[in-house]
Amino acid sequence: MKVSVVVCTYADKRFPDFCEAVESVLGQTYDSVEAVLVIDGNQSVFGRVCEEFGEREEVVIHCNEENQGVSASRTRGAELASGDVVAFIAANRPRLRAQTHWRRRSPSYCTRL
């Protein structure tokens, strides 16, 4: 089962937290993980994200044309995801391991894509 993890950001000041969250996703021991990074209308952050993660094949990067808010960013991330399951983490609170464990134990509560 492939897990797509959507991580969204907007603000420059949160860029270090965002990078840490992405690295935590990519560093998972889970077999198949994809990081879907959505930058909400901030072109300078988009450029920095591309520099940092653009060469990684397990990363999908998207930048909204203008700031649309976290709900629209998460929706766009889910649309771009190719995994069987989509998880969402906040850039400052990555908890993918707990979400994946819960998914395995409670499959009837999760929706398959």
| Cα torsion angle, 35, 39, 43, 49, sign | negative
pLDDT grade for 96, boundaries at 50, 70 and 90: low
**Longest CA span, the chain:** 41
Structure confidence at residue 81 (pLDDT)? 93
Looking at the structure of the chain, the number of domains it has is 1
Give the domain range for residue 32: 3-109
The tokens describing 82, both together, are 């190719």
* Structure confidence at residue 95 (pLDDT): 58
Check which CATH number belongs to the domain holding 58 and give it: 3.90.550.10
C-alpha 30/C-alpha 47 separation (Å) is 28
Residue 45 tokens, joined: 């952050």
Half-sphere exposure of 86 (CA within 13 A, CB side): 17
Model confidence pLDDT, tens digit, residues 9-55: 887 778 888 888 888 888 887 778 899 999 888 888 888 899 989 88
**Tens digits of residue pLDDT in 44-90:** 888 889 998 988 888 999 988 888 888 999 999 999 999 888 888 88
Question: Model confidence over 100-110: pLDDT tens digits?
Answer: 554 555 555 45
Alpha carbons 8 and 79: distance in angstroms, whole number: 13
Q: What pTM, to 2 d.p., does this model score?
A: 0.80
SS3 107: helix
* Count of other CB atoms within 10 angstroms of residue 31: 8
More confident residue, 91 or 83: 83
